[in-house]
Amino acid sequence: NAGVMQNPRHLVRRRGQEARLRCSPMKGHSHVYWYRQLPEEGLKFMVYLQKENIIDESGMPKERFSAEFPKEGPSILRIQQVVRGDSAAYFCASSPGGLEYGYTFGSGTRLTVV
Amino acid sequence: GENVEQHPSTLSVQEGDSAVIKCTYSDSASNYFPWYKQELGKRPQLIIDIRSNVGEKKDQRIAVTLNKTAKHFSLHITETQPEDSAVYFCAGTGNMLTFGGGTRLMVKP
């Protein structure tokens, strides 16, 4: 089992560009969660998705950020018109369904906006 | 939604001593409380968890206790070793895991 796969591991974007972060959950996991971690800070919830559905996006900024988890393929977190404040580590986690199984985290994508 | 507070934010102990990290939560419906360890530059990894029908759980040198009445739970690490140095996060459950702010544990050899 390959675990939760995130790519790219590192992403550098200039201000105003778009960033696309990908997450493939563990085999058999249908629930995906995205978290953002600013340097030296905690894990802040952004969005919770199941296949083709956004279940909870209460932690995601209303502007410039969007997420999807299509029927086929990985989950995508998209940040449009990036700004310096978007520089952070973005972690994806997956679970088989129900939080009592806990999450498995991916290795994260470290986004740097220059 | 759930609100999780974690203390202390930093903790320094001598190798071989015990370390205790405490968390409180707000949602009485929370029923699952995991703890994650995150080493520098790496992913958070689950180290132990406890469900609401259990008061204590132990796994070798780590243990977690839960007081549902008071809505707090704690992580206990005994006989600390330098490799225990990391940031530890507690979490409570609502629709998703809500994490505490983290505790940076430093174990001095």
Residue-wise pLDDT for B77-108, tens only, equals: 999 999 999 999 999 987 789 999 999 999 99
Location of structure tokens 């939560």: B25
Rounded percentage of chain A residues whose pLDDT exceeds 70? 96
Burial of A82 (0-12, 13-18, 19+ CB in 10 A): buried
pLDDT digits (tens, 9 = 90+) for B15-40: 999 999 999 999 888 889 999 999 99
Contact assignment for B96 to A56 by CB distance below 8 Å: yes
Q: Is B18 on the interface with A (CB under 8 A)?
A: no
All residues of chain A having their beta carbon less than 8 Å from the beta carbon of residue B89 are 42-43
Tell me what pLDDT residue B28 has.
87
Contacts of B15 (CB under 8 A, 6+ apart): B80, B81, B82, B107, B108, B109
Contact assignment for A99 to B46 by CB distance below 8 Å: no
Q: Which amino acid is at B72?
A: H
Of the candidates A26, A3, A4, which has an alpha carbon nearest to the alpha carbon of residue A90? A4
**CA pair distance A4, A111, nearest whole angstrom:** 18
Tell me what pLDDT residue A1 has.
59
All residues of chain B having their beta carbon less than 8 Å from the beta carbon of residue A44 are 99
Task: Spell out, as residue ranges, where chain A has pLDDT lower than 50.
Answer: none
